[in-house]
């Protein structure tokens, strides 16, 4: 990506954000927080998360 394209993209993103009403920005921020990944995945990556979920499944059986 060329520098000019990058500056254009950043400018469009900022203008798009600034044009949104304040309450819509708050709503989107809250939605993003709720969509965060699990603690295990965020802190330790995918492999420990898979192992944790497999162990959890086996305990339920």
CB 40 within 8 A of CB 52: yes
Domain that includes residue 24, residue range: 3-60
pTM (2 d.p.):
0.45
Q: What is the mean pLDDT of the chain?
A: 84
Q: What is the rounded CA–CA span in Å between residue 29 and residue 12?
A: 19
| Residues 49/38, Cβ–Cβ less than 8 Å | yes
Q: Any idea which of 3-7, 9-13, 14-18, 40-44 has the lowest mean pLDDT?
A: 40-44
Interatomic CA distance for residues 42 and 61, integer angstroms: 27
**Structural domain count, the chain:** 1
- Looking at residue 58, what DSSP letter applies? H
């Amino acid at each position: 990506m060329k520098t000019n394209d990058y500056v254009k993209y950043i400018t469009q993103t900022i203008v798009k954000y600034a044009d949104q009403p304040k309450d819509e920005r708050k709503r989107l921020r809250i939605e993003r927080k709720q969509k965060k990944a699990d603690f295990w995945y965020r802190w330790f990556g995918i492999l420990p998360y898979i192992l944790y979920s497999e162990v959890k499944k086996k305990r339920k059986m």
